[in-house]
Amino acid sequence: MSTRLLSTLRWTPILLAGAFAVAGCQGPSGAQGGEAKKEDPADGDEVEMDARKVEVAKLELELARLEAEQEVACAEQALGTVKLAAEKARLERDGFQALGRSREVDEAKLGLDQAQGRADDAEAELKELEAMYSAEEFAEKTKELVLTRGRRNLEHAKRAVDLAKRRLDELQSFDLGEKERDLQHGLLEAEQNALEADQKVTKLRLEKKIAISKAEQELAELEKKLEKKKKEKEKGDKEDEKESKP
């Protein structure tokens, strides 16, 4: 056997071993790194999880809308109540300025005139009694009793006139002004409450609008993410299907 043949036979096992090693690295498909892609169970779980998140986000959005409608409706109802209170306060203030002030003054003047009339009547009656008892002879005790009662009635009537005058002065100088100030203060307070309630409704509407917009944006992002995951899963399934075909 020649020297060249012996050399060839000596290197043959080494070459065969290297060939088998390379074949082993290439995998079952015969191409290096060409192993068939297996479906990752986690992909399906993520899609299902994202789908549940989308459903929850839809429910949360619907709840946010319902809560917004309810809270805004309650705030509007409260606003209507304070507006009615403000209107009532305005009517009371205007009614007092237009009618109430003059009515109370007229009532006080009428009370004064009535007191003055009773005083005048008592004074006239006393004079008549004094004239009658001076012209005729009556029992002294009866005379004194009648005259004392007449003088007392006159005194009370004069005191009633004085009180009626003071009441009228007090009414015109202080009470009417104080009452008008109270009505004006009540009107301003009611108008302030109405303004605050109106601002509260406006603020609440804006807050709820922002909250709903955020919920809608979150839902849209989740739906977009879910759609992307579905497409990726479908693409992977198609690739696996192609590779599995002979």
pLDDT tens readout for residues 120-168: 888 888 888 777 777 666 566 666 777 788 888 888 888 888 888 888 8
pLDDT of residue 183: 92
| pLDDT for residue 195 is more than 90 | yes
**Residue 192 maps to a domain:** yes
Q: What is the average pLDDT across 110-128?
A: 87
- Expressed as residue numbers, the domain containing 71 is 42-244
Q: How far apart are CA 244 and CA 39, in angstroms?
A: 12
Which residue would you say has higher pLDDT here, 216 or 29? 216
How many domains in the chain? 1
Dist CA 112 CA 164 (whole Å): 5
DSSP for 20-47? HHHHHHH-TTSSTT-PPPPPPHHHHHHH
Residue 86 counted as domain residue: yes
Helix (H/G/I), strand (E/B), else coil: 53 = helix
Q: Can you read off the two tokens belonging to residue 129?
A: 């009694």
pLDDT at 206: 93
Domain assignment of residue 177, yes or no = yes
Is 84 within a domain? yes
Asked if residue 76 has pLDDT above 70, the reply is yes
Residue 28: inside a domain: no
156-173 b/e (C-beta count within 10 Å ≥ 16 → b): ebbebbeebbebbeebee
Statement: residue 215 has pLDDT above 50: yes
Check residue 157 and give its pLDDT: 84
The CA distance from 241 to 182, in Å, is 87
- pLDDT the model gives residue 35: 45
237 in any annotated domain: yes
Q: Which tops the pLDDT comparison, 5 or 98?
A: 98
* 211-220 CB contacts, 8 Å cutoff, 24+ apart: 211/64, 211/68, 212/61, 212/64, 212/65, 212/68, 215/57, 215/60, 215/61, 215/64, 216/61, 218/57, 219/54, 219/57, 219/58, 219/61
Judge whether 47 and 237 are in contact, CB under 8 Å. no
pLDDT band of 81, cuts 50, 70, 90:
very high
Q: Output the pLDDT for position 189.
A: 93
Residue 30 lies in a domain: no
Q: Does residue 20 have a pLDDT over 50?
A: no
Within a domain: 52: yes
The chain-wide mean pLDDT, for the chain, equals 78
Residue 9 has pLDDT above 60, yes or no: no
Q: What is the pTM of this model?
A: 0.56
What letter does residue 175 receive in the DSSP assignment? I
The secondary structure of 79-137 as a DSSP string is HHHHHHHHHHHHHHHHHIIIIIHHHHHHHHHHHHHHHHHHHHHHHHHHHHHHHHHHHS-
Among 42-46, 54-58, 62-66, 238-242, name the one with the lowest average pLDDT.
42-46
pLDDT at 42: 55
Question: What is the per-residue pLDDT for 44?
Answer: 62
Q: Tell me the C-alpha distance between 62 and 37, whole Å.
A: 41
Q: What does the pLDDT read at residue 237?
A: 74
